Amino acid sequence: MPKMVWFKTGIVPLEQASVSVLDHAYLYGDGLFEGIRFYDRKIFRLDEHLSRVIDGCRYLGFELAYTHAEIRQAVLDVTKAADFDNGYVRLNISRGTGLGLDPKNIDREANLVIIASSLALYPPEAYETGLDVITSSFRMTPPDSLDPRLKCSGRYAANILAKQEANRAGAGEALILNHQGYVAECSGDNIFLVRRGHITTPHPSSGLLQGITRDSVFEIARSLEMEIREEFLTSYDIVSADEAFLTGTAAEVIPMVSLDGRPIADGKPGPVTGKVMAAFRALTKDGTAFD
């Protein structure tokens, strides 16, 4: 099936969509993005994703010519045109086009690109056996430099470096700490721990991106009648946990079974993680239909 793109005003095949080499996201990482999943022809948490990216545009001062409703319709249109039952939508917005750092000297019409395709972040067997994770030597960008709630393209250079560290170590993911040594997130995922019958996750003040799937786990925990807390966590908390799992739009919910070669509990996915995974799969059946 074709990979389709909504570009500026309408839908074209992927091969026909292109932006200028002077696009500010290409030149300076001056752009925002969202990854959005759809399941059985229903888009999961569409409006939450769109609200986040529009809030980011407002914060960064992008002159966005599209409303929430217009972007929403474009996502529905391109997903329908791609004709996948299950897949991944990538939405990118850049500030505009032009050489030079100063936005006042460029064409500030924001470039909007929406891609409907497929994506598998981890192999299927990893959801059965769990991920080995290493601690990255790179630290989170502090909020006084860039607010962690922004899915800003330039911010992810450090995440890519962390992911490369994991690849070199033969690990599935890299854990990123903040400058105080507290757990923030992994290179592309939020992290949750299970200990003594309750679930914990890093406090937003630790510098993490508050993921849409992360929010869904809070909903799931309530449905399972489990206490869930946001706390300041260190590596000690991870290694001494009964279970751990990671979440993200691309990752969905996946077990984490070790940190830096040290197993978490017995080094196998735990029962609470299994319940959360099953509940998340059930939750994805409730989405925005594009047919």
Residues assigned a catalytic role: 151
Q: What's the distance, CA 19 to chain centroid?
A: 23
Nearest to 264 by CA among 254, 253, 256, 252: 256
**Token pair of 185 as six digits:** 């997130």
Cα–Cα nearest to 247, from 169, 193, 168, 180: 193
Report CA-CA distances (Å) from 224 to 36, 45, 78, 202, 270.
25, 20, 36, 20, 15
